[in-house]
Structure 1
Amino acid sequence: MDRIFSPTGIGRDYQESRHLSFLKDVRNDFTVFSGFAHPDNESAHHIGEYSFLTAAPHPELPGFRNTISLDQFVAKKIGTATRFSSLELASSAGHVRSLAVNYSGVNLPAEDKPSRVFARLFLEGTPEEVQEEESRLAEGRSVLDAVSEQARRLGSRLSAGDRDKIDEYFTSVREVEQRLQAMQAWSHKPKPKVDALPPQDIADRADMIGRMDALFNLLPLALATDSTRVITLLIGECGVPPIDGVSMGDHELSHHGQEPEKIAQLRLIEEAKAKSIAGLLKKLKATQEGGVSLLDNTAVLFGSNLGNASNHSTTNLPILLAGGGFKHGQHLVVAPQGDKHPLPLSNLFVAMLQGMGIEVDKFGSSTGTVAGLETV
Structure 2
Amino acid sequence: MVRGAWHPPQSAHAFPSSPTLQPLESLSGKMSLFTHLDRVKVPGTDGHAQAGACYLSTAAPDELSPAGYPLKRTIDQVIADHVGRETPFRSLELSCNSFTDNRESVYFDNISWYGHGHVARSMKDPHKVFQRLFHVKEHQANASVLDLVLADARDLMGRLGNLDRHKLDEYMESVRTVEQQIERITQHQVDVRDLPAGMIPSDKLWTTMRRDEYIQVMGDLLILALQTDLTRVCTLMVAPERWDTPLMFEDIFEKPIRHHGWTHNQKDPETLRQLEKIDLFHMRQYASICAKMDAVQEGNGTLLDNMMFAYGSGLSSGMLHECTNLPTVIAGSAGGRIATNRHDKHAQGTPIANLWVSMAQVMGLPVEQIGDSTGSLKGFTAQA
Let me know the Cα RMSD of the aligned residues.
2.6
Where 1:332 maps in the other structure, the secondary structure is strand
Partner of 2:325: 316
Query: 1:67 matched to which residue of 2?
Result: 72
Distance 1:61 1:5, change over 3 A: farther
- Cα separation, 1, equivalents of 2:294 and 2:140: 39
Query: In structure 2, what is the Cα distance between the partners aligned to 1:240 and 1:286?
Result: 31
CA distance in 2, matches of 1:86, 1:306: 25
Deviates more, 1:231-240 or 1:256-265: 231-240
Matched, 1:81 2:62: no
Aligned positions, number:
308
Where 1:31 maps in the other structure, the secondary structure is: strand
For the 8 Å contact 1:301–1:319, the answer to whether it is kept is yes
Q: Which residue of 1 aligns with 2:189?
A: none
Q: 2:234 aligns with which of 231, 235, 240?
A: 231
- Cα separation, 1, equivalents of 2:356 and 2:364: 13
TM-score with structure 2 length normalisation?
A: 0.73
Instruction: Give the Cα–Cα distance (whole angstroms) in 2 for the partners of residues 266 and 223 of structure 1.
Output: 32
1:153-194, CA deviations, whole angstroms, 9 ceiling, x for partnerless residues? xxxxxxxxxxxxxxxxxxxxxxxxxxxxxxxxxxxxxxx852
Task: Find the aligned partners of 2:27 and 2:56 in 1 and give their Cα distance.
Answer: 25
Normalising to structure 1: TM-score of the pair? 0.75
Counting only pairs closer than 5 Å after superposition, residues 1-376 of structure 1 correspond to structure 2 as 1=1, 2-13=3-14, 15-41=16-42, 44-48=46-50, 49-56=52-59, 57=61, 62-64=67-69, 66-93=71-98, 94=100, 97-103=109-115, 105-122=117-134, 124-125=136-137, 193=172, 194-198=175-179, 199=182, 200=185, 201-204=205-208, 207-237=210-240, 239-246=246-253, 247=255, 248-323=257-332, 324=334, 325=336, 326-336=338-348, 342-375=349-382
Is residue 76–residue 234 contact of structure 2 (8 Å, CA) maintained in 1? yes
Preserved CA contact (<8 Å) 1:30 1:322 = yes
Q: Shift of residue 261 of structure 1?
A: 1.5
Question: Cα 1:14–1:87, aligned 2, differ >3 Å: closer, same or farther?
Answer: closer
Structure 2: runs of 5 or more not aligned: 142-170, 186-204
Shift of 1:221: 0.7
Gap regions ≥5 residues in structure 1:
130-191, 337-341
Q: Within 2, Cα distance between the matches of 1:196 and 1:347?
A: 38
Closer, same or farther in 2 for the Cα pair 1:13/1:257, shift >3 Å? same
Distance verdict in 2 for CA 1:109–1:28, change over 3 Å: same
After superposition, the Cα gap between the structure-2 partners of 1:64 and 1:253, relative to the gap in structure 1 and judged at 3 Å, is: closer
Q: 1:239 Cα shift?
A: 2.3
- Residue 85 of structure 1 deviates from its aligned partner by 0.8
What are the superposed Cα offsets for residues 43-84 of structure 1, whole Å, 9 maximum, x if unpaired?
652112111001432779844462110110011101112111
